[in-house]
Amino acid sequence: MNCISLNYKQIKLDIRKSFAFDDNVKLNIMKQLTLGDKITQCILLCTCNRTEVYFDGSKKYFDYVIKVLSQYSNVSKDAIKKYAMFFENEKATFHLFKVTSGIDSMVMGEDEILSQTRSAYMFSKNNNFTSYEFNMIFQKSFECAKIIKNETPLSTTSISVATLVGNVVSKLGDNTNVLVIGASGKIGTTVVKNLLSHKNINVKITMREHNKQLSTVDDNIEVVPYNDRYNYINNSDCIVSATKSPHYTITKYDVDNSDIKAKSRLLIDLAVPPDIDSELDGYNGFSILNIDHFEEIANYNNKIKESSVESALKIIGEEIDELKKDIIFHSFLPKMKNVDDKEKKVIYKMKSNLSSKSFEEFISVYEKES
């Protein structure tokens, strides 16, 4: 198996988007790639961060794949050669396993790439662009990704500030009311999405009268006027502020003059510089967590992720070795009908206990002797 990868590591979005093919285009590309006898198997993976072509055949077909990609993307062959990453044989398999496990993702350990790769594989398989070898390789990569997910903290340790905020707020109670100030900004929008992913959180967002971009929002969000924000603090368990305002969005003075009842409330200040009055920390049940708190956790979690990569790579190595044995055994399988039960047990035992290299040598010797 070979792979040509056009991904976020080498290519900026404005070029990468030229390779964001829809299903009809992907189908035409794979049909053209498999014309004649050059390439018999291929899978085309397209996500927002990468476009990758996995195909069989020798290295000499790289130029042909580049020609087809150039034709459908209107990006020159020379530009594709400049930006692309090329993987052959075992390196291509290793790269695929890193992709499906999330190790190669922009957000290390993210889960979405696994379902995206599985969808790309099924699309190709259902259109008859794969056979047993690619089926075995891709299915094994999916199994490996699940093992890594279950046995390492790679995909379970959040490093996104927005995700960490959502996790903290979700632990406040079964029916938590949250007011988000500054929901229209980049951070605020992401925070709102993460909050809504938790079923126990109810979200209200503020909007200035002159800001019309939030006129159409999620049905689960209530939009309230920014100037009335203090009226909604009474019924809120948490207030998240993520504005770019040069002024405080919440002050102790206004809290004192807004008839807000004292109770335990979490204030999350994601603005830089801070836009929640620090004098509210510890006052009338208020407690403040600022952006530094979440970035510290994110940095710590990222170190955990980085340390888990070594474990993940070890699992990948082990699973690829098992894959090699499966492929060797599959080629030998037609001859198993002439093998008696006693010898079959020996062969299965050798497959289980030997490395792929040793098992290949064993099968080679067995075929010569039998």
Q: Which two tokens stand for residue 213?
A: 């971009």
Q: What's the mean pLDDT in 257-272?
A: 89
- Per the model's pLDDT, the better-predicted residue between 197 and 287 turns out to be 287
Q: What is the predicted pLDDT for the residue at 212? A: 47
pLDDT at 369 over 80: no
Q: What is the predicted pLDDT for the residue at 222? A: 85
Q: Report the share of the chain in percent with pLDDT over 70.
A: 95
Indicate the helix (H) or strand (E) that contains 289: strand 286-290
* pLDDT digits 0-9 by tens, 148-163: 988 888 876 666 788 8
Q: Where are the alpha helices (DSSP H) in the chain?
A: 13-16, 23-33, 62-73, 77-83, 89-101, 112-126, 132-151, 161-170, 186-196, 229-233, 252-256, 291-332, 341-353, 356-369
**Cα(154)–Cα(159) distance, integer angstroms:** 10
pLDDT at 239 over 70: yes
Q: Which of 67, 40, 75 is nearest to 55 (CA)?
A: 40
Long-range pairs of 215-223 with CB within 8 A, sequence gap ≥ 24: 218/192, 220/196, 221/192, 221/196
Q: How far apart are the first and last CA of the chain?
A: 31
Q: What is the predicted pLDDT for the residue at 53? A: 96
> Which whole-number Å values give the CA distances from 248 to 251, 254, 279, in the listed order?
6, 10, 12
For residue 64, give the 3-state DSSP assignment: helix
Given a contact cutoff of 8 angstroms between Cβ atoms, the answer to whether 232 and 259 are in contact is no
Q: What is the predicted pLDDT for the residue at 40? A: 92
pLDDT at 361 over 60: yes
* pLDDT digits 0-9 by tens, 54-96: 999 877 889 999 999 999 999 999 999 999 999 999 999 999 9
Peptide bond into 273 cis (omega under 30): yes
Q: Which two tokens stand for residue 30?
A: 């794979």
Q: What's the mean pLDDT in 185-205?
A: 87
Average pLDDT, the chain: 87
**Cα(244)–Cα(188) distance, integer angstroms:** 10
Per-residue 3-state assignment (H helix, E strand, C coil) for 117-181: HHHHHHHHHHCCCCCHHHHHHHHHHHHHHHHHHHHCCCCCCCCCHHHHHHHHHHCCCCCEEEEEE
209 — pLDDT class (breaks 50, 70, 90):
low
CA 274 from centroid of its chain's CA atoms: 31
What residue type is 285 in one-letter code?
A: G
Q: What is the predicted pLDDT for the residue at 340? A: 83
106 — pLDDT class (breaks 50, 70, 90):
confident
Given a contact cutoff of 8 angstroms between Cβ atoms, the answer to whether 241 and 181 are in contact is yes
* pLDDT digits 0-9 by tens, 122-153: 999 999 999 999 999 999 999 999 999 888 88
11 — pLDDT class (breaks 50, 70, 90):
confident
Q: Which of 131, 204, 348 is nearest to 363 (CA)?
A: 348
Q: What's the mean pLDDT in 174-183?
A: 90
367 — pLDDT class (breaks 50, 70, 90):
confident
Q: Are strands 265-269 and 238-241 parallel, antiparallel or unpaired?
A: parallel
Q: What's the mean pLDDT in 10-16?
A: 82
pLDDT at 188 over 90: no
Q: Which two tokens stand for residue 165?
A: 């905020």
